[in-house]
Amino acid sequence: MRIALISCTSRKKAYKCPARDLYSESPRFRLAYALAKLVADKIFILSAKYGLVPEDMIIEPYNETLKDKSALERRAWGEKVLNDLRKVSDLESDEFIVLAGEVYHENLLPHLVHFWLPLKGKRQGEWIPELERLVRLESESDKAIVLHMLFNGLPRLDWTMINRIPYQNGIYIMFEKGESYHGMNRIVRIGTHRGQDRLLKRLRDHFVKEDADGSIFRKNIGRAFLKMTSDPYLQVWEIDMHNSENERNYGHLINEGLETELEAKISRYLRDNITFVCFPVDEEAERLRLEEGIIASLNRHSSFGPSSNWLGLNSPMPEIASSGLWNRQGLQGQPLSDEELERVKWLARFGNDSYRNNTGRRARVQRAEDSVRVAVEVTGSQGKIADDVRQYIEKLLQEAKMIGEDYIDLVSGDIHKQMGMKNRMPQICRIMYEKMMPGDEVLHTTPSGKSTTIKIRYDLRNR
C-alpha cells in the first residue's frame, strides 16, 4: 500500500471542516494533495496540533507549527504520529510518499523502510514548481515524455561523482550538452551492466579508463570523431584488440600515438558534455529488460530524435545516427509496458532514497541515540541547548552548500569547542546522528558513540 503524508500549512479555512479542505487555502497543499491523489492509496496530514490526521477527519482551525517547538517536543510529536501510523499501516512493507519538510519527517524516516521524499533538496520557494512538475508527470500518458520528466528530475551526476553512488547495481541514463526534448535535457544513452556489483566499474570504463575496447560507448564516440574527418584509421579502430587472435593478426597496425591522442579527446568530450543519473536495480534479468524497454520506448517514438548538431550524426553506425541514441542494442526491442514504467518510477524514486540501506541506518541511529542518551531532567533548558546545537549544525551545512561544496565533514569535538560548551558531547553526538539523511556517511565512530572524534560526512547535493 502507498501512503502519502502531507504536512499542515499556516493558511487554513476559518471554520471547522474535513482536513483536506481545511488546508486547501494553501496552493502548496492543494498541489501536494493533487499529487497524493495520483500516487497514493491513502492520504494523511501531519498536523502540528493533532498529529496524524486522516484526510476526511473534521478538525478545528488552529495556529501552531512544529518549527516553534523544541527538539524534545518534536520528538514526542513524532512518537505519537508513529504510534498512530502503526495502527493504519505497516511501517516495514508499506510505501510512504512524504510531502513535508525536515522538521516534520526527521523523527519519522528512521522508522520507515520504503519512502520517497519528492521535495528532497528543494528550498521552500521551489516546492510549488516541483509539485506542479510531478503532477504533470503523473498525468502524462506519453511514455517518452514521462521518461524524460522522471529522469530530468533525478539528482544529476558527472564523472567526478561516480564513487558517491550508494549502490552497486543499477541502470544509468545519460544526457548530452546541446540536446533537448520537449524543453528538457534529451536522453542520449541508456546503459547497465552484466554480472553483479559492476555499476561503478562500468561508469569508470566510460569516463575514466582510456580503453575504447573496454567501453562500447567510448568506441562509438571515437568512431564519430574519425568519421567526421574521413580518417582511414577508422578501419583499425573498429578492431577489438582485446581479442587475442585480433591482436596477433592486426596488432602491428596500431598507431600508439594516434590512439593515445584519440582516447584523450574522447575523455575530454565525455567529461565536458555528458552528465547522467542512475537508479538501483538489483537483479540482472530485470536490469537488462528495463534497459531494453527504455531504449525501445524512446527509439520507437515518432517525435524522439537528435538535434542537427548532434555528434552521433557523424557515426558510421546507421542505428546510432538514425535513433539519436548512443545505443545499438535494444532499439527494436519491446517497449516498456505500463506496469514496467511504474516499476521504473518506483525504483527511481524509492531506490533513489537508498531505501535498501534505511534499515541499517535506522539501527545505527538507534544505537547512537541509545549510547549517548544520558539521564537528564526534561527541562526547557535542555531543549534550548539541543535546539542551539541543531541550528549551529544546520548553519554549517547551509554555508558549505552556498559556496558550492558537495559535502561537508563535521567532527563532534570541533562543534563542542566552537560553541564553547562544557560536558555536552553526548548531546552533540546524538544530534549529529539525528541530522543524518540517506547519502550521509559516518566516517569515524567509537564503541560509545559519544567521543570527541565522531566524524560524519553530510551530502549537501540533495539538501
Hey, how many other C-beta atoms are within 10 angstroms of the C-beta on 87? 7
State residue 354's pLDDT score. Answer: 45
Helix 143-152 to helix 338-350 angle (10° resolution) is: 0
- Return the higher-pLDDT residue of 34 and 349: 34
**What region, left, alpha or beta, does residue 324 occupy, with left being phi > 0 and alpha being psi -120 to 50 degrees?**
left
d(CA 206, CA 224): 16
Please state the rounded mean pLDDT for residues 431-446.
Answer: 85
Q: Mind giving me the DSSP string for 6-72?
A: EE--S---SS-EEHHHHTTTSHHHHHHHHHHHHH-SEEEEEETTTEEEETT-EE------GGGS-HH
Contact 291, 336 (CB under 8 A): no
Strand-pair partners of 99:
6
Percent of the chain with pLDDT over 70: 93
Tell me: pLDDT of 77 over 60. Answer: yes
Contact 221, 311 (CB under 8 A): yes
- Return the higher-pLDDT residue of 384 and 247: 247
- C-alpha distances in angstroms, 424 versus 72, 301, 367, 372? 16, 61, 18, 10
- Beta-sheet pairing, 455-459 with 407-411: antiparallel
203 Cβ contact partners less than 8 Å away, ≥ 6 residues apart: 159, 162, 165, 172, 276
Lowest mean pLDDT, pick from 110-119, 135-144, 244-253, 280-289: 244-253
> Could you tell me the pLDDT band of residue 462, with boundaries at 50, 70 and 90?
confident
Average pLDDT in the chain? 89
Sheet holding 455-459, edge to edge: 407-411, 455-459, 441-444
Please state the rounded mean pLDDT for residues 68-85.
Answer: 91
Using alpha carbons only, how large is the chain's radius of gyration in Å? Answer: 26
Tell me: pLDDT of 379 over 50. Answer: no
Percent of the chain with pLDDT over 90: 65
Phi, psi of 223 (to 5 degrees): -60, -45
State residue 399's pLDDT score. Answer: 80
Tell me: pLDDT of 389 over 60. Answer: yes
Strand-pair partners of 164:
none
Quick: pLDDT tens for 154-172. 989 999 999 989 899 999 9
- Return the higher-pLDDT residue of 120 and 143: 143
State residue 374's pLDDT score. Answer: 38
Tell me: pLDDT of 381 over 70. Answer: no
Tell me: pLDDT of 376 over 50. Answer: no
> Could you tell me the pLDDT band of residue 373, with boundaries at 50, 70 and 90?
very low
Lowest mean pLDDT, pick from 55-69, 84-98, 445-459: 445-459
Cell of 292: 531494453
Contact 159, 272 (CB under 8 A): no
> Could you tell me the pLDDT band of residue 383, with boundaries at 50, 70 and 90?
low
State residue 253's pLDDT score. Answer: 87
pTM recorded for the entire structure: 0.71
Tell me: pLDDT of 405 over 90. Answer: no
d(CA 446, CA 435): 18
Quick: pLDDT tens for 240-269. 888 888 888 887 888 889 999 999 999 999
d(CA 250, CA 233): 13
